[in-house]
Structure 1
Amino acid sequence: MEKITLYYFLVNNKATLGLGENIKLLLEDAALEHEYVRLELDEAWNNKKVQLVKEGLYSGTLPYIEVGGKKFGRTVPIMRYISVKLGNKYHGANDEENQILDSAADIIGDWFESAKLAFNGSNEDKKKYVEVDTPRFLDIFERYLSAQEGPYILGEKISYSDFLIYHRLDDDMALDRLADYPNLTKFVQSFVERPNIKKHLASLSK
């Protein structure tokens, strides 16, 4: 592929927080040439958003990528687009496998929305999220990963949904809450040892 430019906010001054990191992880794993542009969520963003809509980015939201002079938006569709461009590298082998990936991605979206509501809610909302909602989603993905012997949703082959799962765990600060989830534990152990991912994660601590 041509060089990709990824645009996303710098959330709470943390390099990996938010939706953009899902795409960043996939770009790193695929060893694609790219640039990551971080924008501030300030008054200037309002003008930028209007300009993006005029330039054809229908929703005017981040993250989005620019490649070959064209802009493409929305996290999961971007990841699917890149996978297709790479010969379905991060897709399943058939319609049934792709349905599994789509359903997992959809549930990750539910998890993200649940986290966002809790973050913007009361202390009671936050408490419920930690004690009830997060374990519920962990249970769901433990079941997804138990269906195959391999560490990922589809077994040995990694998919775009696996990047979503890992980053949701990371964003949710749930990576240290997996003692009762053997399949999620195996998944994380395998994911972070992928050569390009390992290199990327190591660079974040510098």
Structure 2
Amino acid sequence: MVDLSHVKLHYFDFGNVPTDCGRGENIKLLLEDAGISHEYILHKWQDWPKVRDEWIASGYTAGSLPVIETADGKRYSCTTPIARLLSRQLGKYYGKNIDDEHLVDSVADLAQDWYYRFAFDSWLRPDNREKHLQEDVPFHLQRLERYYELRDGPYVLGSEISFADFQTYHMITDEKLKPKDLPPRLAALVRTIEERPNIAKYMKKWSKSQ
């Protein structure tokens, strides 16, 4: 078992970029929704290499963020594996059978595909941003919409939320898309997630801190 009595979530401090940007927020949303006590630690770019090297020397092999650190000092890395680990420990956010798990994993993987394009064209090559919005974003929206049409409900599993829903939702917010910009099922997903009590509370608190 993993000790989730208190968790430290580690990610990057992007400076002028809002703290809800990037892959760490996928885990943050899950932690908030599940009501898991946690601390969000943001590492400055110039400080991260030293921290990374110290972690690698102590047995943490990935050398990347996000990372969760549990109350007993264990560290777990990589966005989707972290979400999967938390979900299995909590007994929710991952469905009820192997078909559910495959569906959740597929959508999480597609959301990560989208993130790679977003990061490349929004941060590394900002001059490509308009082309990204016109070509890449519609492609990813349409592909994910097809998955959300498979079952009757706002989430990819239907009425049960999964960690993949947080990843899809966060890509939409990272791109700064509004419900009017989205196909019907994804628009419903955004509205439903933002109405979840712990997420609504978190978003209200986060908006006041910016």
Shift of 1:122: 6.0
Matched, 1:15 2:19: yes
Residues 42-76 of structure 1, C-alpha deviations (whole Å, 9 max, x = no match) = 1x221111011112221111110110210111111
Match of 1:100 in 2: 103
Shift of 1:160: 0.6
Shift of 1:177: 4.8
Aligned residues: 202
Distance 1:192 1:122, change over 3 A: closer
2:89 aligned residue (81, 85, 110): 85
Moved over 3 A (4+): none
CA distance in 2 between partners of 1:168 and 1:147 (Å): 20
The two structures have a TM-score, normalised by structure 1, of 0.93
- Report percent identity of matched pairs: 37
Tell me the secondary structure at the aligned position of residue 55 of structure 2: helix
Matched, 1:27 2:53: no
Match of 1:5 in 2: 8
Shift of 1:100: 0.9
Match of 1:72 in 2: 76
Tell me the secondary structure at the aligned position of residue 158 of structure 1: coil
Let me know the Cα RMSD of the aligned residues. Answer: 1.3
Deviates more, 1:27-36 or 1:56-65: 56-65
CA distance in 2 between partners of 1:6 and 1:117 (Å): 24
After TM superposition, the structure 1 = structure 2 runs for residues 1-206 of structure 1, keeping only pairs within 5 Å, are 1-13=4-16, 14-42=18-46, 44-67=47-70, 68-87=72-91, 89-119=92-122, 120-121=124-125, 123=127, 125-179=128-182, 181-206=183-208
CA distance in 1 between partners of 2:158 and 2:23 (Å): 25
CA distance in 1 between partners of 2:134 and 2:15 (Å): 24
5+ residue gaps, structure 1:
none
Q: Does structure 1 retain, via aligned residues, the 8 Å contact 2:179–2:190? A: no
CA distance in 1 between partners of 2:37 and 2:130 (Å): 41
CA distance in 1 between partners of 2:191 and 2:94 (Å): 21
Tell me the secondary structure at the aligned position of residue 202 of structure 1: helix
5+ residue gaps, structure 2:
none
